[in-house]
Structure 1
Amino acid sequence: MFWIGYDIGSSSIKAALINDENGNVVDTAQYPKVEMQIRSPKSGWGEQDPESWWENLCIATQQLLKNTEVDTREIKGIGISYQMHGLVLVDKEQKILRPSIIWCDSRAVDTGEHLFEKAGTEKCERQLLNSPGNFTLSKLKWVKENEPELYKRVDKFMLPGDYIAMKLTGAITTTPSGLSEGIAWDFTKHAPADWLFAEAGIHTDLIPELVPTFSDQGSVTQQAAEQTGLTKGISVMYRAGDQPNNALALNVFKPGEIAATGGTSGVVYAISDQIRTKESTRINSFAHVNHDENAPRIGKMLCINGTGIQYSWMRNQLTDAMDYGAMNALAEEVTIGSDGLMILPFGNGAERMLRNRNLGSSMNGINFNIHQQKHLFRAALEGIAFSFVYGLQILQGDGIELTTIKAGNDNLFRSAVFSNTIATLVGKNISITETTGSVGAARAAAYAAGAFASFDEATATDKVEHVYKPLSEKKEDYQKAYDKWKECLEEKLATFK
Structure 2
Amino acid sequence: MTREPIVLGMDVGTSSGKVCALDAQGHFLGMESEGYPTLVPQPAWAEQDPALWLPALGRACHRLLVRLGIERSNVRALAITSAAHVGVLLDDALSPVRPSLLWHDQRSQAQALALAEAAGEEIFVLGNNWPTATWTLSHLAWIRHHDADAWKRTRHLLLSKDYVAFQMTGRMTSDPAAAVSALLFDVHSGQWSDRLCGLAGISVSQLPELLPIAGEIGALLPEPAATLGLVAGTRIFNGTMDSTAETFSAGVRREGECVIRLASAGGIHGISSPPRTHPKLISYPYPVAPFWLSQAGTNTCASAVSWACSLLTGDEENPDFSAWSRLAEAAPPGSNGLFFHPYLAGERCPYWDGDLRASFVGLGLHHRRSDIARAVYEGTSFALRDALGVLQERGFVLDSVRLVGGGAKSRIWRDIVASVLDCPVQAAPLADSSAGAALLALVGLGVYASPAAVPAAEPDGGTQLHVPDPGLRALYDEAFARYRDVQGHLSDVYHKKPRQQAN
TM-score bracket, normalised by the shorter chain, equals over 0.9
Separation in 2 of the partners of 1:285 and 1:206? 24
1:127 aligns with 2:126: yes
In structure 2, what is the equivalent of residue 484 of structure 1?
482
In structure 1, what is the equivalent of residue 377 of structure 2?
381
- Note closer, same or farther for the CA distance 1:24–1:455 as it changes in structure 2 (3 Å cut): farther
The correspondence of residues 299-378 of structure 1 with structure 2, limited to 5 A, is: 299-321=293-315, 323-368=320-365, 370-378=366-374
| 8 Å Cα contact 1:257/1:402 also seen in 2 | yes
1:423 aligns with 2:421: no
Separation in 2 of the partners of 1:210 and 1:457? 23
Where 1:353 maps in the other structure, the secondary structure is coil
Where 1:5 maps in the other structure, the secondary structure is strand
Q: How far off is 1:375 after superposition?
A: 0.5
1:432 aligns with 2:424: no
| 8 Å Cα contact 1:237/1:445 also seen in 2 | yes
| 8 Å Cα contact 2:276/2:294 also seen in 1 | no
Separation in 1 of the partners of 2:122 and 2:405? 40
Q: How far off is 1:372 after superposition?
A: 0.5
Question: Any unmatched runs of 5+ in structure 1?
Answer: none
Q: How far off is 1:214 after superposition?
A: 1.4
| 8 Å Cα contact 1:431/1:467 also seen in 2 | yes
In structure 2, what is the equivalent of residue 106 of structure 1?
106
Q: How far off is 1:385 after superposition?
A: 0.5
Separation in 2 of the partners of 1:229 and 1:263? 28
Letter aligned with residue 60 of structure 1: A
Separation in 2 of the partners of 1:438 and 1:199? 33
Separation in 2 of the partners of 1:73 and 1:470? 48
- Note closer, same or farther for the CA distance 1:417–1:66 as it changes in structure 2 (3 Å cut): closer
Q: Report the more deviating stretch, 52-61 or 183-192.
A: 183-192
Percent identical among aligned pairs is: 24
1:24 aligns with 2:21: no
In structure 2, what is the equivalent of residue 285 of structure 1?
283
In structure 1, what is the equivalent of residue 447 of structure 2?
451
Q: How far off is 1:159 after superposition?
A: 1.1
1:408 aligns with 2:407: no
TM-score by length of structure 2 reads 0.91
Letter aligned with residue 19 of structure 1: D
1:493 aligns with 2:496: no
| 8 Å Cα contact 1:169/1:221 also seen in 2 | yes
In structure 2, what is the equivalent of residue 474 of structure 1?
472
1:8 aligns with 2:12: yes
Where 1:240 maps in the other structure, the secondary structure is coil
In structure 2, what is the equivalent of residue 214 of structure 1?
214
In structure 1, what is the equivalent of residue 274 of structure 2?
274
In structure 1, what is the equivalent of residue 499 of structure 2?
none
Where 1:15 maps in the other structure, the secondary structure is strand
Q: How far off is 1:330 after superposition?
A: 2.1
Separation in 1 of the partners of 2:448 and 2:187? 29
Q: How far off is 1:496 after superposition?
A: 4.1
| 8 Å Cα contact 1:351/1:358 also seen in 2 | no
Where 1:339 maps in the other structure, the secondary structure is helix
Q: How far off is 1:440 after superposition?
A: 2.2
Separation in 2 of the partners of 1:414 and 1:62? 25
| 8 Å Cα contact 1:421/1:478 also seen in 2 | no
Where 1:447 maps in the other structure, the secondary structure is helix
In structure 2, what is the equivalent of residue 465 of structure 1?
463
Separation in 2 of the partners of 1:334 and 1:386? 17
Counting matched residue pairs gives 484
Q: How far off is 1:391 after superposition?
A: 0.7
TM-score by length of structure 1 reads 0.92
Separation in 2 of the partners of 1:471 and 1:376? 21
Q: How far off is 1:352 after superposition?
A: 4.8
- Note closer, same or farther for the CA distance 1:169–1:304 as it changes in structure 2 (3 Å cut): same
Instruction: State the superposition RMSD in angstroms.
Output: 2.0
The correspondence of residues 40-59 of structure 1 with structure 2, limited to 5 A, is: 40-59=40-59
Q: How far off is 1:276 after superposition?
A: 4.5
Letter aligned with residue 194 of structure 1: D
- Note closer, same or farther for the CA distance 1:455–1:77 as it changes in structure 2 (3 Å cut): farther
- Note closer, same or farther for the CA distance 1:314–1:214 as it changes in structure 2 (3 Å cut): same
